[in-house]
Structure 1
Amino acid sequence: MKKILLVIGGCLSLGLGILGIVVPLLPTTPLVLLSAWCFARSSDRLYNWLISHPRFGQVILNWQNHRGMQASHKKKALLLTIASFVISIALAPMKIKILLVFIGICVMTGVSLIRVIPDSNEV
């Protein structure tokens, strides 16, 4: 029963993480990392699929092995965060704009504080 709940949790987390690619306040990376954690404890097949995924695999392994991210991934994360918040702020009412600016600054500060590891082509 525990394994079934972990698989369901991993699938839900992965689905929300994928949705978070286009929804500004839904964090992709933590949800994908949660999926990896759930799958590692419940399904070798799903875990191996996720860590061998061309988009998510390297990010997951970097976090698991080094507790950091590659400079190229960090740069993309910051640029996409800025782009999504700029669009959201432009479309939001004034009261929400102030909140979005604050949240955007917090998110970008958090990403900026993550340790940088060498890109795989630099190793």
Structure 2
Amino acid sequence: MPAGWPTIAEAAQTELLQRLPGKWRIDPKPYAGLTDVTRVPVTCGILTARQIAITELTVTELSGHIRTRALRAVEVLEAFAARAAIAHQLVFCLTDWFYEEGLRRAKELDDILDNGGQPLGPLHGVPVALKAT
């Protein structure tokens, strides 16, 4: 008999958790009783102060810093991916993980600006996450 949806969903979540880099893993047990985990990425000790600052910038600020090269797309991606990985371990907010693809694209976008090219639009280098409902 085929597996039911709870079994399939659990297997998919387990597989996704295993794909998250070890450097961004947390022990979710200490946070199990919390009703608000929004500050855990900031307080768990995984993100650097710079990564926290990056992930708290507005889209306009991020875009401007990437264009002026004050921030690199790769650095921005790393910060947001780390924060998303931490959040996922607490609330299972991700349905898939495209970190490697994002990293490759961020490097390409940095190379464009490093070689004197123009930004490829207003969100050049700004990570984007999509929510499917």
Place the TM-score, normalised by the shorter chain, in its bin.
0.3 to 0.5
Normalising by structure 1, report the TM-score.
0.35
More strand by share: 1
Normalising by structure 2, report the TM-score.
0.33
More helix by share: 1
Tell me which structure has the larger Cα radius of gyration: 2
Between 1 and 2, higher relative CO (CA 8 Å, sep ≥ 6) is seen in 2
